Amino acid sequence: MYSFPNKRCDQARSEKGRQSNDKAQNPEESLTIMKRGQRWRCLVPLSFFFGILFYCNQSLWETLSIGAKPINNVIAGSGFRKLLEENGKIIDKSHPIGAIKQFPKCVIIGVRKCGTRALLEFLDLHSGIQSTYHEVHFFDDDKNYNQGLEWYRKNMPYSFPGQITVEKTPRYFISHGVPYRIKRLNSDMKIIVSLRHPTIRVISDYTQIYYNKLMKNETPDRFETMALDPDTGELNMRYKALQISIYHHNFARWLKIFPKNQIHIVDGDNLIIDPVSEIRKIEKFLGLAHEITYDKLYFNTTRGFYCMRVNSTMERCLGASKGRRHPDIDPNLITKFNKFFRPHNERLFKMINRRFPWS
């Protein structure tokens, strides 16, 4: 209950009490009136508080009213998600004393749909690594690159001097000028590339586009329509997903700029089955102690892939877009892809002096 320290208020309260006594016919009625007045004194400041809260969080209420607005608003970056992103910016401003934003010493250059997001999330569990959450697209986007190295550094996470900052942008692998630009920044840069069975990578590439169109209420093209030349019935060599899976075309450009001992190749297929074994190789490549074990990773039977134990009370899985079921593909078309990629795979194996069980 509020107190009124001045005499005028005391007099007013006394007057109010006298009026109540005049109206009350017995002590019980007086007590009831007094309690009713106390309730109203509490309700007024509470109503004022919740009014301000509602006004300041109007976008939150709009987002939670899923029946009134399309849930796509959440995906598009408004409402609740926008609030979370703003909170993330606030968290970014408060960082441990001594932590600074440093240029990366390691870059994951791709390949798209070969597990690069999972790889980055797993590596971020290591105490010696700080990773960028978003794809920066500095070296492959002229607009970003022309903003200069300081812009790039500011897009890095806070880290301590002894930690390794890791950046990931899968488009780097296929972009022609990127190896030169990275070399110009740091000739000792560690490069990580993840590869999967080329046919599976093509189908996974199509799967992402397929579900993205469904989310937009658009009708996706059939895989056969995109993968096959309508005139000849053979594989469509203009299909970008197919071009990306011819790994040796792009890998040759990287090996002209960086020596093999600065490039580590991750088996993206094995990363799905046995992630710890692949991460141990990366820890060795980066000169880090072995920290990431199956105490920090566990197989989520509901999601169908490995998730992370951040600490003893918190677990985290990749987004819902990861691990989605591939659409049904004609087995004859898969065989055609495998046959096409076979000589290209052999050229890659000779180039990197390593074989993968692709057939």
Give CA–CA dist 264/357, Å, rounded.
Answer: 18
260 part of the active site: no
pLDDT of residue 50: 53
pLDDT of residue 83: 30
Distant-in-sequence, close-in-space partners of 157: CB < 8 Å, separation ≥ 6: 101, 130, 131, 132, 133, 165
Give CA–CA dist 190/317, Å, rounded.
Answer: 27
Active-site entry in 69, 101, 113, 281:
113
Tokens matching residue 191: 């490069």
pLDDT of residue 144: 98
Give CA–CA dist 207/308, Å, rounded.
Answer: 24
* Beta bridge mates, 306: 299
Run of H or E including 265: strand 263-267
112 in a labelled binding site: no
Question: Which domains can be identified in the chain, with CATH numbers?
Answer: 29-97 (no CATH), 101-352 (3.40.50.300)
Under-50 pLDDT residues of the chain:
1-25, 27, 30-35, 52-93
128 in a labelled binding site: no
pLDDT digits (tens, 9 = 90+) for 258-295: 999 999 999 999 999 999 999 999 999 999 999 999 99
322 in a labelled binding site: yes
pLDDT of residue 312: 76
Tokens matching residue 43: 């309700």
DSSP state, residue 112 = T
Q: What DSSP string describes 134-169? A: S----SS-HHHHTT-HHHHHHTSPEE-TTSEEEEE-
Sheet architecture: strand order including 297-300: 297-300, 305-309, 315-316
117 in a labelled binding site: yes
pLDDT of residue 314: 85
Give CA–CA dist 133/118, Å, rounded.
Answer: 11
